[in-house]
Protein backbone atom coordinates (compact mmCIF):
# COMPACT_ATOMS: atom_id res chain seq x y z
CA UNK A 1 0.00 0.00 0.00
CA UNK A 2 1.34 3.41 -1.02
CA UNK A 3 0.09 6.14 1.29
CA UNK A 4 -0.11 9.88 0.75
CA UNK A 5 -1.72 12.61 2.74
CA UNK A 6 -2.13 16.18 3.89
CA UNK A 7 -0.72 17.72 7.05
CA UNK A 8 -2.00 20.89 8.66
CA UNK A 9 -3.57 22.14 11.86
CA UNK A 10 -7.22 22.09 10.80
CA UNK A 11 -8.24 20.12 7.71
CA UNK A 12 -12.04 20.11 7.76
CA UNK A 13 -12.09 22.45 4.75
CA UNK A 14 -9.78 20.38 2.56
CA UNK A 15 -10.74 18.82 -0.77
CA UNK A 16 -7.39 17.08 -1.24
CA UNK A 17 -8.47 13.70 0.07
CA UNK A 18 -11.51 13.64 -2.23
CA UNK A 19 -9.39 14.77 -5.17
CA UNK A 20 -6.72 12.12 -4.78
CA UNK A 21 -9.14 9.33 -3.84
CA UNK A 22 -11.00 9.98 -7.10
CA UNK A 23 -7.70 10.13 -8.98
CA UNK A 24 -6.60 6.77 -7.59
CA UNK A 25 -9.96 5.29 -8.57
CA UNK A 26 -9.77 6.69 -12.11
CA UNK A 27 -6.24 5.30 -12.54
CA UNK A 28 -7.14 1.92 -11.08
CA UNK A 29 -4.61 2.32 -8.28
CA UNK A 30 -6.12 0.12 -5.60
CA UNK A 31 -2.81 0.13 -3.72
CA UNK A 32 -2.90 3.92 -3.08
CA UNK A 33 -4.57 5.73 -0.21
CA UNK A 34 -4.75 9.41 0.83
CA UNK A 35 -5.26 10.49 4.44
CA UNK A 36 -5.70 13.67 6.45
CA UNK A 37 -3.28 14.22 9.32
CA UNK A 38 -4.02 17.09 11.69
CA UNK A 39 -0.89 18.00 13.65
CA UNK A 40 -0.84 20.24 16.72
CA UNK A 41 2.55 21.52 15.52
CA UNK A 42 5.11 20.76 12.83
CA UNK A 43 7.35 18.95 15.33
CA UNK A 44 4.89 16.04 15.20
CA UNK A 45 5.95 15.23 11.62
CA UNK A 46 8.71 12.69 12.50
CA UNK A 47 6.32 10.78 14.78
CA UNK A 48 3.69 10.75 12.02
CA UNK A 49 6.16 9.22 9.59
CA UNK A 50 7.25 6.59 12.12
CA UNK A 51 3.63 5.65 12.75
CA UNK A 52 2.86 5.45 9.02
CA UNK A 53 5.83 3.76 7.31
CA UNK A 54 3.87 3.44 4.07
CA UNK A 55 3.77 7.21 3.50
CA UNK A 56 5.37 8.17 0.21
CA UNK A 57 4.31 11.79 -0.08
CA UNK A 58 2.64 14.62 1.83
CA UNK A 59 0.95 17.85 0.97
CA UNK A 60 1.45 20.65 3.49
CA UNK A 61 -1.09 23.35 4.30
CA UNK A 62 -1.35 26.22 6.77
CA UNK A 63 0.32 26.93 9.05
CA UNK A 64 3.20 24.54 8.36
CA UNK A 65 4.51 25.54 4.92
CA UNK A 66 7.48 27.23 6.56
CA UNK A 67 7.57 25.38 9.86
CA UNK A 68 8.34 21.95 8.32
CA UNK A 69 11.72 23.09 6.99
CA UNK A 70 13.82 21.96 10.02
CA UNK A 71 12.51 18.41 9.57
CA UNK A 72 13.44 18.09 5.89
CA UNK A 73 16.67 16.62 4.54
CA UNK A 74 16.58 18.73 1.39
CA UNK A 75 14.60 21.56 -0.19
CA UNK A 76 14.77 21.81 -3.98
CA UNK A 77 16.10 25.14 -5.31
CA UNK A 78 12.71 26.30 -6.63
CA UNK A 79 11.08 25.88 -3.22
CA UNK A 80 14.08 27.43 -1.47
CA UNK A 81 13.72 30.50 -3.67
CA UNK A 82 10.08 30.80 -2.68
CA UNK A 83 10.74 30.17 1.01
CA UNK A 84 7.85 27.76 1.56
CA UNK A 85 7.13 24.06 1.07
CA UNK A 86 3.74 22.55 0.28
CA UNK A 87 4.86 19.10 -0.93
CA UNK A 88 7.13 16.58 0.77
CA UNK A 89 8.52 13.70 -1.23
CA UNK A 90 9.35 10.75 1.04
CA UNK A 91 12.15 9.00 -0.79
CA UNK A 92 12.68 5.21 -0.62
CA UNK A 93 15.71 5.76 1.61
CA UNK A 94 13.61 7.79 4.06
CA UNK A 95 14.94 11.19 3.06
CA UNK A 96 12.39 14.03 3.05
CA UNK A 97 12.61 16.43 0.10
CA UNK A 98 10.59 19.66 0.08
CA UNK A 99 8.98 21.12 -3.05
CA UNK A 100 6.56 23.94 -3.85
CA UNK A 101 3.77 23.25 -6.33
CA UNK A 102 1.56 26.11 -5.09
CA UNK A 103 3.74 28.33 -7.24
CA UNK A 104 3.06 26.23 -10.34
CA UNK A 105 -0.67 26.00 -9.70
CA UNK A 106 -1.15 29.71 -9.04
CA UNK A 107 1.03 30.83 -11.94
CA UNK A 108 -0.76 28.71 -14.52
CA UNK A 109 -4.23 29.51 -13.16
CA UNK A 110 -3.50 33.25 -13.08
CA UNK A 111 -2.34 33.15 -16.71
CA UNK A 112 -5.84 32.04 -17.67
CA UNK A 113 -7.65 34.53 -15.45
CA UNK A 114 -5.83 37.86 -15.49
CA UNK A 115 -5.31 39.46 -18.90
CA UNK A 116 -3.45 42.55 -17.70
CA UNK A 117 -0.09 40.99 -16.94
CA UNK A 118 2.80 43.41 -17.01
CA UNK A 119 4.26 46.38 -15.19
CA UNK A 120 1.17 48.50 -15.81
CA UNK A 121 -1.07 46.14 -13.84
CA UNK A 122 0.28 45.88 -10.29
CA UNK A 123 -1.18 43.54 -7.68
CA UNK A 124 -1.98 43.56 -4.00
CA UNK A 125 -1.18 40.31 -2.18
CA UNK A 126 -3.17 39.92 1.01
CA UNK A 127 -1.13 37.92 3.50
CA UNK A 128 2.51 37.24 4.25
CA UNK A 129 2.58 33.51 5.00
CA UNK A 130 3.72 30.50 3.01
CA UNK A 131 0.95 30.77 0.41
CA UNK A 132 1.77 34.43 -0.17
CA UNK A 133 5.40 33.51 -0.83
CA UNK A 134 4.35 31.23 -3.70
CA UNK A 135 2.11 34.00 -5.08
CA UNK A 136 5.02 36.46 -4.90
CA UNK A 137 7.28 34.15 -6.88
CA UNK A 138 4.65 33.58 -9.56
CA UNK A 139 3.91 37.31 -9.91
CA UNK A 140 7.62 38.05 -10.18
CA UNK A 141 8.07 35.50 -12.96
CA UNK A 142 5.00 36.83 -14.79
CA UNK A 143 6.38 40.36 -14.65
CA UNK A 144 3.58 41.66 -12.41
CA UNK A 145 4.72 44.14 -9.74
CA UNK A 146 3.02 43.74 -6.37
CA UNK A 147 2.75 45.00 -2.82
CA UNK A 148 2.16 42.82 0.22
CA UNK A 149 -0.63 43.66 2.64
CA UNK A 150 -0.50 42.59 6.29
CA UNK A 151 -2.22 43.36 9.54
CA UNK A 152 0.72 44.76 11.48
CA UNK A 153 2.08 48.28 10.99
CA UNK A 154 5.80 48.52 10.39
CA UNK A 155 5.99 45.36 8.33
CA UNK A 156 7.46 44.94 4.84
CA UNK A 157 4.31 46.04 3.02
CA UNK A 158 1.08 47.92 3.41
CA UNK A 159 -1.57 47.47 6.08
CA UNK A 160 -5.27 47.17 5.40
CA UNK A 161 -5.68 50.72 6.69
CA UNK A 162 -3.46 51.86 3.80
CA UNK A 163 -5.84 50.49 1.18
CA UNK A 164 -7.57 53.70 0.24
CA UNK A 165 -9.75 53.99 -2.87
CA UNK A 166 -6.76 55.53 -4.65
CA UNK A 167 -4.52 52.59 -3.76
CA UNK A 168 -7.17 50.08 -4.82
CA UNK A 169 -7.69 51.91 -8.11
CA UNK A 170 -3.97 51.59 -8.86
CA UNK A 171 -3.95 47.80 -8.31
CA UNK A 172 -6.29 45.93 -10.66
CA UNK A 173 -5.31 42.50 -9.31
CA UNK A 174 -5.99 41.58 -5.67
CA UNK A 175 -4.97 38.13 -4.42
CA UNK A 176 -6.23 36.78 -1.12
CA UNK A 177 -3.41 34.56 0.11
CA UNK A 178 -4.81 34.31 3.65
CA UNK A 179 -7.18 31.64 5.00
CA UNK A 180 -9.79 34.30 5.83
CA UNK A 181 -13.20 33.16 4.61
CA UNK A 182 -12.38 29.45 4.59
CA UNK A 183 -15.11 27.04 5.74
CA UNK A 184 -16.52 27.11 8.41
CA UNK A 185 -15.81 30.86 8.76
CA UNK A 186 -17.62 31.63 5.54
CA UNK A 187 -18.93 35.06 6.61
CA UNK A 188 -15.43 36.49 7.07
CA UNK A 189 -13.56 38.47 4.42
CA UNK A 190 -10.39 40.58 4.18
CA UNK A 191 -10.93 44.14 5.37
CA UNK A 192 -11.21 46.03 2.08
CA UNK A 193 -13.25 48.97 0.82
CA UNK A 194 -15.27 46.75 -1.49
CA UNK A 195 -17.32 49.71 -2.66
CA UNK A 196 -14.18 51.11 -4.28
CA UNK A 197 -13.78 48.08 -6.56
CA UNK A 198 -14.75 48.30 -10.22
CA UNK A 199 -15.25 46.05 -13.27
CA UNK A 200 -11.56 46.67 -13.95
CA UNK A 201 -10.55 44.69 -10.86
CA UNK A 202 -9.67 41.00 -10.74
CA UNK A 203 -10.00 39.24 -7.38
CA UNK A 204 -8.28 35.88 -6.99
CA UNK A 205 -8.98 33.98 -3.77
CA UNK A 206 -6.71 31.04 -2.98
CA UNK A 207 -9.53 29.71 -0.81
CA UNK A 208 -11.72 27.14 -2.61
CA UNK A 209 -14.10 26.08 0.16
CA UNK A 210 -16.66 27.62 -0.04
CA UNK A 211 -16.83 27.85 -3.82
CA UNK A 212 -17.65 31.55 -3.59
CA UNK A 213 -16.13 33.27 -0.58
CA UNK A 214 -17.45 36.50 0.89
CA UNK A 215 -14.37 38.20 -0.59
CA UNK A 216 -15.46 37.03 -4.02
CA UNK A 217 -19.15 37.75 -3.53
CA UNK A 218 -18.50 41.32 -2.42
CA UNK A 219 -16.11 41.83 -5.32
CA UNK A 220 -18.61 40.41 -7.79
CA UNK A 221 -21.29 42.76 -6.41
CA UNK A 222 -18.99 45.68 -7.30
CA UNK A 223 -18.57 44.34 -10.84
CA UNK A 224 -15.12 42.83 -10.36
CA UNK A 225 -13.98 39.57 -11.98
CA UNK A 226 -13.52 36.82 -9.37
CA UNK A 227 -11.92 33.38 -9.21
CA UNK A 228 -11.42 30.88 -6.42
CA UNK A 229 -8.47 28.58 -5.79
CA UNK A 230 -9.95 25.30 -7.02
CA UNK A 231 -8.13 25.33 -10.35
CA UNK A 232 -4.91 26.15 -8.51
CA UNK A 233 -5.57 23.22 -6.16
CA UNK A 234 -5.97 20.83 -9.09
CA UNK A 235 -2.88 22.09 -10.90
CA UNK A 236 -0.68 21.95 -7.81
CA UNK A 237 -2.03 18.49 -6.93
CA UNK A 238 -1.13 17.14 -10.37
CA UNK A 239 2.36 18.63 -10.03
CA UNK A 240 2.68 16.96 -6.62
CA UNK A 241 1.63 13.60 -8.10
CA UNK A 242 4.32 13.94 -10.74
CA UNK A 243 6.92 14.59 -8.04
CA UNK A 244 5.85 11.58 -5.97
CA UNK A 245 6.18 9.36 -9.04
CA UNK A 246 9.63 10.49 -10.17
CA UNK A 247 12.13 7.63 -10.48
CA UNK A 248 14.16 7.11 -7.32
Active site residues: 65
Q: How far is CA 45 from the centre of its chain?
A: 20
DSSP for the chain, please give it: -EEEEEEES--TT--HHHHHHHHHHHHT-TTEEEEEEE-SSGGGHHHHHHH-TTEEEEEE-TT-TTTTGGG-SEE-HHHHHHT---EEEE-TTS-EEEE--HHHHHHHHHHHH----STTS-EEEE--SHHHHHHHHHHHHTT--EEEEESSTTSSSEEGGG--HHHHHT--EEEE-S-TT-TT-TT------GGG--TT-EEEES--SSSS-HHHHHHHHTT-EEE-SHHHHHHHHHHHHHHHTS--
CA-CA-CA-CA torsion sign (67, 68, 69, 71):
positive
Residue 25 buriedness (CB in 10 A; 0-12 / 13-18 / 19+) = exposed
Determine how many CB atoms are found less than 10 A away from the CB of residue 247: 3
Amino acid sequence: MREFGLIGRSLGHSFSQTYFTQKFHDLGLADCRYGLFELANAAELPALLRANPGLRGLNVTVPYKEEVWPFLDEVVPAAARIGAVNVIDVRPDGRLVGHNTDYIGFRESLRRFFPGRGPGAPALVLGMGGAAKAVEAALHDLGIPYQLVGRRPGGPGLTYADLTPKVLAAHPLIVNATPVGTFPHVDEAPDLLYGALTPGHYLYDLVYNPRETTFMARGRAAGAHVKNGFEMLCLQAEAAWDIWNLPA
